[in-house]
């Protein structure tokens, strides 16, 4: 036991052999991770490191099939320090005697909160526009492709929005003013759609909205709300008030569309038609 304790105490990873739902040994690094003393864990139920009974039971439900099939468990889950603070851990478990859990399990635990947060930031950045926080073009096109594939069962509507007179804002107030206006317009658009809808910035002063399971009549009403909100918005920048309009092109997507590219072309054509009809208006493709 002394030799075993010496070995696990020198490991730079949390180690905890358990048996019958209790800790038999805990390493020094384990105590550092959970901010506890060794007596606080030895002999105590393993439940103490989980956030709730439900979380403890959920791990058992995940781990048992893994032990039965592979003799080991490997996964990430949220655990709790003795202070009550939650963190993300990478846990690996292996039976002391394969196939016989009554002989105990050896668990290793790493705090991966920072690594996980970093992954989430990278994932968020790859799917979102950094200026406005909206979905970016690749993310929007991926969502649109999925929706188009299911349009026969679930028709939906898409709109393209191109801001009118935006170039004047950049030319007069500078790019800082233009960026501020884009951020504000993004908030206006996001606040006027349903929770199930997706607003994206495609680039420059171009936006798009995917209205899932939305009949054309309701989509028209939403589009008009967006147009009115953008038209009413004013940016006061260094003593000058700037305003823009919104030329909106809309498409109802059903089984007649089989490719995302066709939907994009139709929405773009409708948006161009709105520009040609005097700007700051809504045009439905094919209407």
Query: Got the DSSP string for 65-128?
Result: HHHHHHSEEEEEEEEE-TTS-EEEEEEEEEEEETTEEEEEEEEEEEE-HHHHHHHHHHHHHHHB
The single residue of 205, 231, 254, 268 carrying the catalytic annotation is: 205
d(CA 199, CA 130): 14
Residue 282 forms beta bridges with which residues? Answer: 248
Q: Which residues contact 44 (CB under 8 A, 6 or more apart)?
A: 22, 23
Q: Which residues contact 21 (CB under 8 A, 6 or more apart)?
A: 45, 46, 47
Is 254 annotated in the active site?
no
Q: How many residues does the chain have?
A: 287
Helix (H, G, I), strand (E, B) or coil at 241: strand
The residues annotated with a catalytic role in the active site are 205
């Amino acid at each position: 036991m002394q030799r075993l304790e010496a070995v696990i105490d020198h490991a730079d990873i949390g180690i905890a052999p358990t048996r019958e739902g209790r800790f038999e040994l805990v390493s020094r690094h384990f105590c550092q991770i959970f901010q506890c003393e060794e007596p606080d864990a030895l002999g105590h139920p393993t439940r103490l490191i989980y956030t709730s009974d439900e979380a403890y039971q959920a791990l058992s439900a995940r781990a048992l099939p893994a032990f039965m099939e592979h003799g080991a468990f490997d996964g990430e889950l949220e655990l709790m320090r003795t202070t009550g603070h939650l963190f993300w851990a990478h846990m690996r478990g292996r039976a002391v005697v394969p196939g016989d859990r009554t002989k105990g399990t050896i668990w290793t635990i790493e705090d991966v909160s920072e690594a996980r947060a970093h992954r989430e930031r990278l994932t968020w950045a790859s799917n979102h526009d950094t200026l406005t926080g909206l979905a970016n073009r690749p993310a929007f096109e991926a969502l649109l492709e999925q929706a188009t594939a299911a349009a026969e069962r679930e028709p939906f509507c898409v709109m393209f929005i191109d801001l009118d007179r935006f170039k004047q804002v950049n030319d007069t107030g500078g790019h800082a003013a233009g960026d501020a206006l884009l951020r504000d317009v993004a908030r206006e658009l996001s606040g006027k759609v349903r929770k199930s809808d997706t607003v994206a910035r495609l680039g420059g002063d171009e936006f798009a909205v995917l209205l899932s399971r939305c009949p054309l009549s309701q989509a028209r009403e939403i589009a008009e709300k967006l147009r009115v909100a953008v038209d009413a918005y004013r940016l006061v920048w260094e003593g000058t008030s700037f305003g823009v309009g919104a030329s909106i092109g809309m498409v109802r997507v059903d089984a007649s569309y089989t490719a995302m590219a066709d939907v994009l072309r139709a929405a773009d054509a409708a948006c161009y038609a709105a520009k040609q009809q005097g700007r700051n208006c809504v045009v439905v493709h094919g209407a």
